[in-house]
Amino acid sequence: MQRRELFSSLASSFKKDEKQEIILRPPYFNDESIFLTNCIECDGICSTVCEENIIIIQDDKTPKLDFSINGCTYCDECANACPNEVLTIENKKNINVRIQINTKECLAWNDTMCFSCKDPCFDDAIDFFGMFKPIVNDNCTSCGFCIKVCPTQAIKVI
């Protein structure tokens, strides 16, 4: 290894990891690659029938969920409207991400009483440790309703 390569490799270890954007898909698909082939032939019908208006059509004509707007009710409307069978009721599942509370950013974890995330949770998926510190439990369906209401954006999708 030459000196230049050594210093380059050492310097790259100090660089911050660039976070890749997580593309959340509606919870009714079987194979992610089918979005890139079948969605390009569609006019984004799934986004027009979404009762929560969280389906955004990207530049590549594929749908993604935007939890900064609201959460997913798993209402099946996007799957029922999909003309190209990218989204189907038979493939319904929980959204394939984990919801996590960043304790450094969370008001409740930093000695300020806050229950904002618990109120919109339909699944009773947020427990309070020591009465005031929220923790996401195994009931979480990754619907995202808790994300928009967090006053400090401490709830993340991972």
Residue 30, pLDDT score: 94
Residue 130, pLDDT score: 84
Write the pLDDT tens digit of every residue in 107-131.
999 999 999 999 999 999 999 988 7
Low-confidence ranges of the chain (pLDDT < 70): 1-20
Beta strands in 17-105 (DSSP E): 55-57, 63-65, 99-101
Residue 55, pLDDT score: 97
Question: Would you list the domain boundaries of the chain?
Answer: 33-91, 99-157
The two domains 33-91 and 99-157 share their CATH topology (first three levels equal): yes
Q: Which CATH number fits domain 99-157: 1.20.1630.10, 3.30.70.20, 3.40.50.970, 3.30.70.100?
A: 3.30.70.20
Task: Round to whole Å and give the CA distance between 69 and 38.
Answer: 26
Contact, 127 vs 137, CB < 8 A?
yes
Please give the single-letter amino acid code of residue 26: P
Residue 20, pLDDT score: 66
Task: Round to whole Å and give the CA distance between 48 and 56.
Answer: 9
Write the pLDDT tens digit of every residue in 78-99.
999 999 999 999 999 999 999 9
Q: Which CATH number fits domain 33-91: 3.40.50.1100, 3.50.50.60, 3.30.43.10, 3.30.70.20?
A: 3.30.70.20
Percent of the chain with pLDDT over 90: 80
Residue 41, pLDDT score: 87
Residue 83, pLDDT score: 95
Residue 76, pLDDT score: 97
Residue 21, pLDDT score: 75
How would you classify the pairing of strands 133-136 and 126-129?
antiparallel
Residue 59, pLDDT score: 94
Residue 131, pLDDT score: 75
